[in-house]
Amino acid sequence: MSTGTEGLVSGNPGPRSWRVKIERRLEQPRWLMWISPIILILAALAVGAVLLSIVGVDPRLAYSRIFSAAFGTPAGWLRGEIYPLSDTTVKATPLILTGVGVALAFRMRMWNIGAEGQLFIGAWATTGVALHLLSPETSPWIMIPAMMLAGFLGGALYGAIPGVLKAWLNVNEIITTLMLNYVAIFFNNYFIYGPWALRGFGLSPRFPRNAWLPRLMDLSDRFPIFRGLTAHLGILFGVAAVVVVWYILKYTKWGYEIRVIGDNPEAARYAGMNLKRNIVLVMMVSGGLAGLAGMSELSGVVHLLQERFSPGYGFTAIIIAWLAKLNPWGVILVSYLFGGLLVGGDQIQPFGIVQMLNGIILFVVIGGELLLQYRVRILRPERIVERAAEASGS
């Protein structure tokens, strides 16, 4: 089956020219679908190794340091040292939440590129509850759920904007979500340099202690093994989000509609499914999970609102969703991989290696997916003539 995409590679236009034809593959081996993320990651690391060598960095040493800083060493595992894994869990937590939110939207072919902005708005709403809406003496049993609700609603309402524009005006959601990222960042900056600024600095006052998510180290008095571990309750939010999204997609009517609309919108419309409603709802849930990631990062790690509390979690979520094949369970595994890159990248020089590797992985993933979904055929001049004759005869 042809996609209709053809290009001229040499010669003058006409039947005697060589042509390149891109055709969609009718089927893919199931094993290839699951093993391809591993192949793509290894290919990206190989490309990264070449670039590291060019700039004078030993790739084996660099990758070894990244891995040991992110996940520990065999000797450390035998001694029960899990500090690196705890630090990686902290970085993986917002990636899981944003990644599963983006994967949900992508499953319906809604290209939500705005998880970063939705995360910032969720963080802003969380700050409003922690510092201005509720009293510092509020019980954490009330404070933290209220912050979670505010973070989710903030991200959901921000995600609804491109959803409504897409559903009723058919505005391209890639453009709107991408642009709204910068609106959210500058909106956040207005408050931390203005009404919510701490003595004129670009950050808010620190959250009260009862607005902090519990961390493993808080239990070290009863369980000494947890001493120094920074992982916090937010990881449970991420796992719960994965379970809920997986259940929705697999066992609910709404999940069935999401899958059908993503695979064939015209068939879904013919079957009576409400495309507009589903577009808005999916974008709201996707944005809400990103907003919850912002709440988790502020309440569990930063404990205040500042300008650069996210190193690009929302953008990294796009790569994570694709590598996970839009599978919610796969998001957890891939998020730990990228969380490890963030933790381990701080241990090596030159600065920016992690950003370079993220870019390479994204490039390789997109290119690899193209080759998995399509095949490239080079048609000889005589074969072009034969096809033209077959077409005219039919």
Q: What is the DSSP string of 96-128?
A: HHHHHHHHHHHHTT-----HHHHHHHHHHHHHH
At residue 266, does pLDDT exceed 90?
Answer: no
pTM for this prediction: 0.85
The rounded distance, in Å, linking the Cα atoms of 279 and 258 is 9
The rounded distance, in Å, linking the Cα atoms of 237 and 233 is 7
Contact 177, 162 (CB under 8 A): yes
How far the first Cα of the chain sits from its last, in Å, is 17
User: What pLDDT does residue 314 have?
Assistant: 92
User: What pLDDT does residue 49 have?
Assistant: 85
Starting at the edge strand found earlier in the chain, the sheet holding 19-24 runs 2-8, 19-24, 374-379
User: What pLDDT does residue 95 have?
Assistant: 96
User: What pLDDT does residue 30 have?
Assistant: 66
pLDDT, averaged across the chain? 84
**For 42-96, how does the pLDDT look when each residue is reduced to its tens digit (9 = 90+)?**
888 888 888 888 877 788 888 888 888 888 888 777 777 788 888 999 999 999 9
pLDDT category of residue 40 using cuts at 50, 70 and 90: confident
